[in-house]
Structure 1
Amino acid sequence: MTRPRNDTLLRALRREPTEYTPLWLMRQAGRYLPEYCATRSRAGSFLTLCKNPALACEVTLQPLERFPLDAAILFSDILTVPDAMGLGLYFTDGEGPRFERPLRDEAAIRALTAPDPDGPLRYVLDAVAEIRRALSGSVPLIGFSGSPFTLACYMVEGGGSPDFRHLKTMMFARPDLLHRILEVTADAVSAYLNAQISAGAQVVQIFDTWGGMLSPHAYREFSLAYMSRVIAALRREQDGERVPVIVFTKGGGQWLEEIALCGADAVGLDWMTDIADARRRVGDRVALQGNLDPSALFGSEDAIVREANRVLDAFGPHPGHVFNLGHGISRHSEPEKVKILVDAVHRHRHAL
């Protein structure tokens, strides 16, 4: 793996000193950018955009053309994996992602198998390779997947849900079936991330969007255990370089010490977690990523700079910090406000 010219993110993930705190943003390629909306309109649909490597490359690069970000992140969707399992992913306006065949039947669950990434997910791997070529060694490329538990939430419910009633009913009434889904999905995610690494991803992140809704015992059993299983199966070396892994559980602040032991190099924090307290709790076991409230981007320029400095000063002059939002950018954010944030982070220097 050729080291990018700007390797600040990679050094921060290894908890090495950096000249400034590196920055990338979850959902940095998205609907807040007019150029993204134009490309999506040209594609005709979100799924077509995801499944066209050239268009996926185009939108991946769009935020880097506007802002001096320290990484690109693959443009895709976490639900590509269950789609490749044959659940029939589709999107409808106002409802978000849906599956034609949610997993409610025991026979269907027993028949579930992990897809070969080189088959129905080939378009993602082609996009990774095309993006790496287009970046020309400028900044690292981040690949990603949803966590097994988060994917299972959508696979059982058939889409988003305010309470994930079907998933939680299965968890308490038939935990054996949920474990079966999680085992197959963990194998699928491991193979998928390994394929992304082979195609050129230099960092990978696991998005555990819904793990934080679980009780402590259930989180350990149904979410953290399967993320640990995925990480243990990853090929972490590429051309003599370590491929860092970031784990992000939204709402996972209460389990930081346990998450820090799952094998990841960095733990992402949502905005509800005090980053200074998080650093004290995990010590030097992992790097930390985060954790500005995404809604801060609705504020004035002074407010954005103040809140960014608050996060940076709370972490302090220590190695191992990657600045990010505590969740994805809102579609209602203004690109000019994002530019203010990026510039504020890059010019910040700790008072020693």
Structure 2
Amino acid sequence: MIKNDLFLRALKGESVERPPVWMMRQAGRYLPEFMEIKKKYDFFTRCQTPELASEITVQPIRRYGMDAAILFSDILVVPQAMNIEVQMKTNFGPYLPNPIRSQKEVDKVIVPNVEDSLDYVMQAIKATKEKLNDEVPLIGFAGSPWTILCYCVQGQGSKTFDMAKAFCFTDPKAAHHLLQKITDTTIAYLKAKVRAGVNAVQVFDSWGGMLSPIDYQEFSWQYIQQIIDALKDEIPVIVFGKGCWFALKEMARSGASALGVDWTCSAENARYLTGGNITLQGNFDPARLLSPPDEIKRMVTQMINAFGKDRYIVNLGHGILPNVPVENAKAFIDAVKEWPQNRPI
């Protein structure tokens, strides 16, 4: 039994005394204790070593006491398991030396046995659950099929993912074949995470906003819907689509337990577009964590008042930035925990 079940109750739409809080990318790069581990081990060693991944996962919980932990990992472990080489280059980011740009290359991509190829993730979940000792829930995650395709085809990060889009628009048959392989792998992966012990899952559609609303339906949303359909009866599913406010209405009918919102969509619009009957998560601008702590607390209080305490999970509108001072992250978490006292009468 999870001792602090605030996050799980909010996902169910239950009335809560205050909204729960966690931060995307909370396990990692802004914490000095994480930087000590980073000095000793490269990125994928950290992901692939259960003891390291579990330690990194619980570091922010020890320091700040968020209402949920999210497993330290990366969305690109999925293509690695699919026989696609992924490197993480220092001061560059992800790099795929053999990008996929033809049907012939798609044919070589495998749908793996995730229990074998991603067993290290399952072991990290089990180690993390032991460390958490049922204090707070653990979130598992995956990238959306479209977001994974972006990296697989582009070969690296991009401001436009022009090559990924060109592949979809010039060879849609091959693109859909690749998207389906990623979807099948992702469903198996998330189901394995559920068996390993996670309490909720989140799908990150980080690059969904690169697509027009019509193209989003074809190349992203239909595959996310498959993931929701496969998991929603087993575990709460959160969907976060950055820049995807235009799809919130359809997302709200999907069977997901909650929807993430980025900072470009107001609380009022998010509630309106989703019909007001689904839990929303977000949407503090990560760069605003560079504001003075008192300003952060004031803005977080405003944000909670705008969304309302129920059917709401306090979070950022994307991942925390590496240069955020630890006291500013603390101000963000503390503002939520102190919210009833801060609430204007």
Partner of 1:325: 316
1:56 corresponds to: 53
Deviations 1:89-135 (A, max 9, x none): 11112210111221113212123221111111110111011111111
Separation (CA, whole Å) in 1 of partners of 2:43 and 2:330 = 26
Residue of structure 2 equivalent to 1:251: 243
2:202–2:237 contact (8 Å) kept in structure 1: yes
| TM superposition shift of 1:236 | 3.2
Q: Distance in 2 between matches of 1:324 and 1:67?
A: 14
Aligned to 1:18: 16
Equivalences for 1:80-91 in 2 at 5 Å? 80-91=77-88
- Is residue 2:117 matched to residue 1:120? yes
User: What SS does structure 2 have at the residue aligned with 1:113?
Assistant: coil
Structure 1 gaps of 5+ residues are: 238-242
Answering whether residue 275 of structure 2 is matched by residue 283 of structure 1, we say: yes
Aligned to 1:228: 225
Residues of 2 paired with 1:261 and 1:63: CA distance? 33
3-state SS of 1:49 partner: helix
Match of 2:99? Answer: 102
Q: CA deviation at 1:279?
A: 1.3
Give the C-alpha shift of residue 284 in structure 1.
4.3
- Cα distance in 1 for partners of 2:95, 2:81 equals 14
Cα offset for 1:58?
A: 0.6
For the 8 Å contact 1:224–1:262, the answer to whether it is kept is: no
CA RMSD in angstroms comes to: 1.2
Q: Secondary structure at the match of 1:279?
A: helix
Structure 2 residue matching 1:132: 3-state secondary structure: helix
- Give deviations 1:234-293, integer Å, cap 9, x for gaps: 2633xxxxx210000000112210111222110000011101221133234321001111
- Paired residues for 1:190-209 under 5 Å: 190-209=187-206
Alpha-carbon contact 1:87-1:100 (below 8 Å) kept? no
Q: What pairs with 1:251-270 in structure 2 (closer than 5 Å)? A: 251-270=243-262
Equivalent-residue separation in structure 2 for 1:233 and 1:121 (angstroms) = 19
Shift of 1:307: 1.2
Q: Which of the residues 189, 192, 199 maps onto 2:186?
A: 189
Q: For 1:310-330, what per-residue CA distance to the aligned partner results, in whole angstroms no more than 9, with x for missing partners?
A: 21111124x210000000100
Deviations 1:204-238 (A, max 9, x none): 0000000011001000111111000111122633x
Residue matched to 1:36: 34
In the alignment, residue 13 of structure 2 is paired with which amino acid?
Answer: R
2:292 maps to which of 292, 300, 324: 300
**Contact residue 194 and residue 235 of structure 1 kept, 8 A:** no
**Equivalenced residues, count:** 343
Tell me whether 327-336 or 105-114 shows the greater mean CA deviation. 105-114
> Contact 2:280–2:312 (CA<8 Å) still a contact in 1?
yes
Q: Give the one of 122, 147, 151 matched to 1:154.
A: 151
SS of the equivalent of 2:82 reads helix
Secondary structure at the residue paired with 1:289?
Answer: strand
Q: Does 1:9 align with 2:1?
A: no
TM-score of the aligned structures, taking structure 2 as reference length? 0.97
Work out the CA distance in 2 between the residues paired with 1:24 and 1:180.
35
Report what 1:335 is aligned to.
Answer: 326
Matched-pair contact (CA < 8 Å) for 1:89–1:98? yes
Q: Which runs of 4+ in 1 moved over 6 A?
A: none
Distance 1:102 1:338 in 2: 37
Supply the distance in 2 between the matched residues of 1:109 and 1:342 (Cα, whole angstroms). Answer: 44
Which segments of 5 or more consecutive residues in structure 2 lack a partner in the other structure? none
1:344 and 2:330 matched: no
Deviates more, 1:298-307 or 1:331-340: 298-307
8 Å contact 2:249–2:275 — kept in the other structure?
no
Work out the CA distance in 1 between the residues paired with 2:127 and 2:236: 21
